[in-house]
Amino acid sequence: MKIHGQLVDIHNRDIYPAIISVQNGKIIKIERTDKAPDIFIMPGLIDAHIHIESSMVTPGEFALAAVRHGTTGVVSDPHEIANVLGRKGIEFMISDAGKVPLRFWFGASSCVPATTFETNGATLNHVEVKSLLELPEIKYLAEMMNYPGVINNDKEVHRKLDIARKLEKPVDGHAPGLTGEMLKIYVNAGISTDHECSTIDEAKEKISLSMKILIREGSAARNLNSLKELFFIYPEMVMLCSDDLHPEMMEKGHINKLIAGLLSEGFNVFDVIRSSTINPVMHYNLEAGLLRPGDNADFILVDSLNTMNVLETWIGGKKVFANGNVLFTYIPGKAVNKFNCLPIEDNDIKVVNEHGKIRIIEAFDGELLTKEIIASSGTNKLVECDIINDVLKIVVKDRYNDSPPVAGFIKGFGLKEGAFASSIAHDSHNIISVGTNDRDITGSVNEIVRQKGGLAVSSNGRITSLQLNIAGIMTTRSCREVAHDYEKLNELVKSLGCTMAAPFMTLSFMALLVIPDLKIGDRGLFDVSKFKLVPLFVE
């Protein structure tokens, strides 16, 4: 098989007409030629850090969407399903991924649970992590979110790090805002990447300590604009990633979209493309082709470097996408899940006023970071929503046990009526809901209980929902179908006044107890900087 086009040679930083010869899944020869079609041949694109579960579809369905955009491989942390189902969930992901040609390089989730201050569905201790890291499908120890555990010499945390080091597997980091001496301790523990940088100064400090920076552009957290300067000064130290990418965005584009944007702004083509090819392959020791003789034949054909519209995608010497069509089939397996809770009542989420001051979570559009607001609880018997000032009620319900829900208050969503809820709630994936009144909050939560996982909107008692039948966070339906229904739910929430660009995605991170400052879990409010549960009412 011979492929003709303009070769984007990222190794020699050259673009020239070439003929590529492919045989038995490998590139056996690359020849310069005098003339070739005006299409560009480049290595297949790699997402350096993604949670497939956030696309709400299985690995197989994700692959069907990804190859359309020139993605040939993903470095994937199955942390979300691991928190629900433990090793069984990771094995589901590996098994499902094996049904399609897209290359999945999974990590052993290091923080299951992410903290001990919330209820989740499973635990992966150092013995289980070791057995996972010994699997050929597991390439690295996934993001070490428990940076206090690293810094304070938590024995279990350091056992996991020691195992990864002995097995010569890289360790991903997760340390938002960590600086100074604490950052040095964290890096010296063997942690080599971070995808949580939000400022260029933070990224530069981490690079100075030899950390690789994974520049994230996902559905909720988007840091590319803040960090793109790194391509000018440290191109060998950066990779592009999605982290969390919801289905409607996956339908529109993937890493190719990010590359096209950077190239249209004048960034160097070789530096940008290496961030999604050479850099992840070298860092994670991946079996991906880089367009050299002897490499796996993983490459793509695009119409233009400024648009990155993908014409063909090849993986292992097989054409998997061409002429707008995916050239492989996928049949999902049996769904796995874990749900064990009963419906709630309005009285379960009422907040009796202790007549003082309360903590309020302040959320920001497109950010995982939150702030704490201290405000008066008012003079009424119950603390209610203050819609005019955008103070809404937020509720978290443990989905693994039938324990009482926890209620707090949040500012930033802008909702004027109704409520919406999700069983995608990082990282433990309990049920989380925000709303303007108890009736609709209860209705949205109970719809998810009824479906054993999903997304739901309630307005004046009218329920609209999307079921997620795999672990309460994914579905066996196609990415296109899920994207359509998900966009409808987002628009419905926005029609109720919500000002967030991605309401459900942002809501899902309000229970993430490892991202500062104030979050809420099924056991109450959590102060991330103090790393402890705190009461709603301020003493």
Taking the C-alpha atoms of residue 334 and residue 131, their distance in angstroms, rounded to an integer, is 25
41 and 70, same domain (yes or no)? yes
Q: How far is CA 285 from CA 169, 278, 280, in A?
A: 9, 10, 8
123 and 259, same domain (yes or no)? yes
Beta bridge partners of 394: 408, 434
Of 264, 297, 326, which residue is a domain's last? 326
Residue 480 covered by a domain: yes
453 and 310, same domain (yes or no)? no
489 and 433, same domain (yes or no)? yes
Q: What is the pLDDT of residue 531?
A: 87
138 and 102, same domain (yes or no)? yes
145 and 11, same domain (yes or no)? yes
Residue 242 covered by a domain: yes
317 and 354, same domain (yes or no)? no
Beta bridge partners of 322: 312, 325
* pLDDT average, residue stretch 110-133: 94
302 and 409, same domain (yes or no)? no
387 and 359, same domain (yes or no)? yes
Q: What is the pLDDT of residue 244?
A: 87
184 and 223, same domain (yes or no)? yes
Taking the C-alpha atoms of residue 309 and residue 232, their distance in angstroms, rounded to an integer, is 25
SS3 per residue for 405-437: CEEEEEECCCCCCCEEEECCCCCCCCEEEEECC
The parent domain of residue 440 ranges over 346-538
Of 278, 294, 326, which residue is a domain's last? 326
Convert the pLDDT of each residue in 379-420 to its tens digit: 999 999 999 999 999 999 999 999 999 999 999 999 999 999
Residue 336 covered by a domain: no
Convert the pLDDT of each residue in 172-184 to its tens digit: 999 988 999 999 9
Tokens 């609880």 belong to 377
Taking the C-alpha atoms of residue 228 and residue 104, their distance in angstroms, rounded to an integer, is 26
Q: What is the pLDDT of residue 301?
A: 98
Of 441, 454, 254, the C-alpha closest to 344 is: 441
Of 53, 187, 174, the C-alpha closest to 115 is: 174
H runs (alpha helix) in 221-324: 224-227, 230-233, 247-252, 255-264, 269-274, 278-284
Residue 341 covered by a domain: no
Residue 337 covered by a domain: no
Region class of 441: left (phi > 0), else alpha (psi between -120 and 50), else beta = alpha
At 98, list the tokens.
């094996």
Residue 338 covered by a domain: no
At 64, list the tokens.
């069907």
Taking the C-alpha atoms of residue 324 and residue 305, their distance in angstroms, rounded to an integer, is 18
Q: What is the pTM of this model?
A: 0.93
Residue 89 covered by a domain: yes
Whether residue 368 has pLDDT greater than 90: no
Q: How far apart are the first and last CA of the chain?
A: 73
Residue 467 covered by a domain: yes
6 and 120, same domain (yes or no)? yes
Domain of residue 214, CATH code: 3.20.20.140
Convert the pLDDT of each residue in 51-86 to its tens digit: 999 999 999 999 999 999 999 999 999 999 999 999
269 and 366, same domain (yes or no)? no
SS3 per residue for 147-184: HHHHHCCCHHHHHHHHHHHHCCCCEEECCCCCCHHHHH
Of 400, 407, 406, the C-alpha closest to 121 is: 400
Convert the pLDDT of each residue in 439-458 to its tens digit: 999 999 999 999 999 999 99
Across the chain, what does the average pLDDT equal?
A: 96
Which one-letter amino acid corresponds to residue 345?
A: E
Residues in the chain: 539
Region class of 193: left (phi > 0), else alpha (psi between -120 and 50), else beta = beta
- Cα angle 324-466-255, degrees, rounded to a multiple of 5: 40
Taking the C-alpha atoms of residue 451 and residue 204, their distance in angstroms, rounded to an integer, is 46
| Number of domains forming the structure of the chain | 2
